[in-house]
A and B are shown apart, each in its own frame.
Chain A
Amino acid sequence: MSGGVDSSVAAALLAREDFDVVGVTMQLSGDASRCCSLEDADDARRVADRLGVRFFVANYADRFLEEVIERFADDYLQGRTPIPCVTCNSRFKFDHLLARASAFGADQVATGHYARIEIDAKTGAAHLFRARDRNKDQSYFLFELTQEQLLRARFPLGDMHKDEVRKLARELGLGTADKPESQEICFVPDGDYAAVVETLRPEAKALRGEFVDREGRVLGTHRGIHHYTVGQRHGLGIDNANRPLYVSRIDAERGRIVVGDREELEVSTGRVERVNWIAGNAPAEPVRAQVQIRHRHAGALTWLHPEAEARVRVAFDEPVEAFTPGQAAVFYDAEGGCEVLGGGWIAGPIR
């Protein structure tokens, strides 16, 4: 229970179904001004009181700093654009928290995620799907879950629309009913990623480097590669009156930001690493799939070619823009685009 409306309603739905519910807030930050702070824990506690369920705070602030926030900073300094929510799900909500659930004698961990799990009655295998509310769907952030984790996970909001969730929260008199949405990464509340990187790795403040074009011509000086992401157009500060410039590549080794026309963002083939297949193992043959390459991406048709060492070569039918290293590429079934087949971390384009 984060103290937000979604997990509040998820808890309420389970309590209403007579599950033996224990509410847990994961305290992930030592800083009270941020998400998962003590203030949010207090909101969650009030909801738990209202529902008549026991409530605890599980403090993972130290581990979260080490396993998520510091890795986030290092990713930026290595030229990637990280997406920490995936790790938070697979390593915290459905690992550390799942362990805590076992300690409590609880069979499952339920969260306020918008996604659906179905268990195949014949095989006993878990399948992961997009939420009914496509606009709120969070399946993209859950691709790393294993069968073991999915079988112990429960997403009570998977079949609900957000407005239904808020309405239910109001009907139940939950104090969190009208809390605003949290859009940003929880430990970057103001969206200033570079500032977080520089707080953790102060040496990043002094980083400078060159903007270059595809041919290596120097176009200007940048403020350190952690300020940029592939596909970025604004805030480059390069004087170029005739055409808009985009970041097409980050060359961490040489500290260079490669910029170019929009067409230079296009990628037809790319590689994805540390791939997790929801079914448990990689398919033997290439498979058709829709691949979503960032949170708000509609998905593109591809052939997936499984390779050794949990890698996949992704061949897009039509080129996609900004295949950004560090982001997740999540594989959905080719027809409906609703079932998560698996996913991995974008290594980069194959040129």
Chain B
Amino acid sequence: MSDRVYLDHNATTPLLPEVAERMSRVLHEVYGNPSSTHAEGAVARRLVDTAREQIAALLSVNPREIYFTAGATEANNTALIGTVEEARAGSQTAQHVVATAVEHPSIEAPLVWLDAQGHRVTRLPVDEAGLIDLATLDAVLAEGPRLVTIIWANNETGVIQPMAEIADRVKACGALLHVDATQAVGKADVDLSRVPADLLSLSAHKFNGPKGVGCLVVKTGVECAPRSLGGPQERRFRGGTENVAGIAGLGLAAQLASADLEDRMQKYAALRDHLWEALTANVPKLRRNGDVTAMLCNTLSVEFCGVAGDVLVQSLDLEGVAASAGAACHSGSIHPSHVLTAMGRSAEEALGCLRLSVGFGVDEAQIDRAAAIIAEQVAKLRELDTNR
């Protein structure tokens, strides 16, 4: 794998060595159940509590507001269904939920489910740059929705929504605000003291932590029904013995992200910009998706006109470059990305898009190599297509 170039950090990231080391030590040495009161349990409990504090520091929230989950998908499901069903239990009426048209499937699927339960769902359109329109949001907020859920940074395009402005508006109308910050954490400044959201989802493996662990932030006073019953863990919000090593890894990854967020953002942006320059210099007929002034530091979504993205991803893979067409969860299907079509791309244009995302371990030499391989493969596929 040594000469491969991994440009799919929005799908998942490698563990930082410090995190792997910490988790390995926990796996070897700490076997107690955090719910046990004896010394073995206390050691485990301490690790979980420490992780809670580390994440709280990163997000500027109270540690008591953090509930560990198996990742962002569970957190997103819990946030949406938990708040809406809780509200319904109180008032016995259908609730109104607002989202964007470019949510991740772990938001979109619960929305479809809520809709089927009789709740009302509004999806805010995005413009060609991938941004929602604040005036449209205001108009929808005037209808008095119960919950607004917004993807902070889009997984496919990297487009960052104007979260501070959105949060102010949502809070002013009294609705709950959930943010899916899965792609934003560790790559953008996610600070709930500036963006007063009520709930937030994140996942450790998107910022060099382990897979299978994440958390849901539920601000004090916000009512959200639990989705997993049967244990006292997480203050009865999420039953089940804790994934202690994973939680410890998440905590450390969060701490490391807080420590050098600025440096990371600068470094990733430089690599990403270098990649874009190399591609524009060597590949004709390409365009970039999304608003470049409001974009994650590490993400580059490019449309290569006349090229099938799924074939390009496979041929790049054989040449040693890992990238993705649309989102990773869409592999094996060739439906055009709903994110790109929401931005006004035709199905054919969307199917010609490649998502390149840099991260830990990527250097400039790799970027140069990857750009050369991409240029070569795109030229080859276009040539083959013309000969058919």
Residues of A within 8 A of B (CB): 22, 27, 38, 41, 54, 56-59, 61-62, 99-100, 102-105
Contacts and interface: CB of A to CB of B under 8 A. Distances in A.
A54 B313 CA distance: 14
Contacts of A99: 384, 388
Given A22-B318, A102-B384, A103-B384, A27 B332 contact: yes
A22 to B, nearest CB: 7
B318 A62 contact: no
B388 A59 contact: no
Contacts of A38: 332
B270 interface: no
Contacts of B384: 99, 102-103
A57 B310 CA distance: 10
Given A59-B310, A99-B384, A99-B388, A104 B332 contact: no
Given A22-B318, A54-B318, A103 B334 contact: no
Contacts of B388: 99
User: Which of A38, A41, A105 has the most CB atoms of chain B within a 10 A radius of its CB?
Assistant: A105
A41 B331 CA distance: 13
A27 to B, nearest CB: 7
Contacts of B310: 58-59
Chain B facing A: main interface SS? helix
Interface residues of B, number: 15
18 contacts: A22-B318, A38-B332, A54-B317, A54-B318, A57-B331, A58-B314, A59-B310, A59-B332, A59-B333, A62-B334, A99-B384, A100-B314, A102-B384, A103-B314, A103-B315, A103-B381, A104-B315, A104-B318
A111 B314 CA distance: 20
Contacts of A102: 384
Interface of B: 310-311, 314-315, 317-318, 331-334, 377, 380-381, 384, 388
Given A22-B318, A105-B318, A100 B332 contact: no
A59 B325 CA distance: 13
Nearest to B377: A103
Given A102-B384, A103-B380, A59 B318 contact: no
Nearest to B385: A99
Contacts of B380: 103
Contacts of B318: 22, 54, 104-105
Contact of B314 (A41, A56, A61): A56
Contacts of A61: 334
B299 to A, nearest CB: 24
Contacts of B377: 103
B37 to A, nearest CB: 45
A315 B381 CA distance: 47
Contact of A59 (B315, B317, B334, B381): B334
Nearest to B311: A103
B202 to A, nearest CB: 30
B80 to A, nearest CB: 27
A62 B315 CA distance: 21
A49 to B, nearest CB: 15
Contacts of A100: 311, 314
Nearest to B388: A99
Contacts of A62: 334
Contacts of B334: 59, 61-62
Contacts of A27: 332
Contacts of B333: 59
Given A59-B332, A99-B388, 13 more contacts: A22-B318, A57-B331, A57-B332, A58-B311, A58-B314, A59-B310, A59-B333, A61-B334, A62-B334, A100-B311, A103-B311, A104-B318, A105-B315
